[in-house]
Amino acid sequence: MSLGTSLLLVPLLLACGAEGEDAQEQTSGPDTVLQAMLESVAQSQSTPRSTSPRMPQEGGEVPPLQIADMGYDFGSADAPVKVMEISDFGCGYCRRFHEETFPTLLEVYVEAGFVEWKFIPFVLGMFPNGLQAATAGECAGEQDQFYSMQNRLFGEQSGWRNSDDPYAFFADLAAQEGLDVERFNSCIEGGWRDNHVRANIRLGQQAGARGTPLFLVDGRPVHGALPLADFRAVLDGALLQRGITPPPK
């Protein structure tokens, strides 16, 4: 069974999207594969700027996206299959995927050397404090602590989404995770990582992320938080296409 065929056999996918937080959508290589896919959507010299309702436009020329330097990577760069995840910290289905599905994929495929996984913090613009959460994640990344903050942002999703002072909430999480809180706050207040957030938004737009999570598996789009067995079938198909025997069930 080809990867494309396996995707068509998944009849119903769960994703956060423009129709509502828990909207349901129908489904329909290396970084160079992902780059080529995106360049077919928009040439680097005419890349659209952010349309997030809460992200100010950057001034001057908009630089081309450098995908290899974007996001946060799990696994070996030598892994045969490349997955890019475009995910919003405010999305309930993104949280469910990371709590229920990703741990097994991480152990079985990523840590075993079959898959390199790139996480892109995206902002749909539909969740309370979603932009602030993405900024907090990036400012934790500025201290090489993105992964611990990623877990806390998903785990504490209901808390910060309902907070009237989200940056204080995030500073408390940063303190609990052992970050330099003064530096973390300076990063947020000084906009040190705003260009990272903008670039992530542009990347998601070019990839066609009308909802989250969106995955690009060797450049092929997979929409929504698939159940574990279905996502394993997608990854196994990608490995088989490369002549590699998938890990045992």
| Residue 97: predicted pLDDT | 97
Mean pLDDT for the stretch of residues 144-157: 98
pLDDT at 30 over 80: no
Share of the chain above pLDDT 90, in %: 71
pLDDT at 35 over 60: no
Higher pLDDT, 199 or 42: 199
Q: How much is the pTM?
A: 0.80
pLDDT at 21 over 80: no
pLDDT band at 59 (very low <50, low <70, confident <90, very high): low
Question: How high does pLDDT run on average in the chain?
Answer: 83
| Residue 13: predicted pLDDT | 54
Higher pLDDT, 62 or 90: 90
Share of the chain above pLDDT 70, in %: 77
| Residue 58: predicted pLDDT | 52
Domains parsed from the chain with CATH numbers: 3-55+63-241 (3.40.30.10)
Higher pLDDT, 180 or 20: 180
Higher pLDDT, 38 or 14: 14
Region of poorest pLDDT, from 10-14, 122-126, 133-137: 10-14
Mean pLDDT for the stretch of residues 231-243: 98
Q: How far is CA 88 from CA 45, 46, 209, 229, in A?
A: 26, 25, 10, 23
| Residue 17: predicted pLDDT | 76
| Residue 61: predicted pLDDT | 67
pLDDT band at 222 (very low <50, low <70, confident <90, very high): very high
**pLDDT digit string, tens, across residues 172-210:** 999 999 999 999 999 999 999 999 999 999 999 999 898
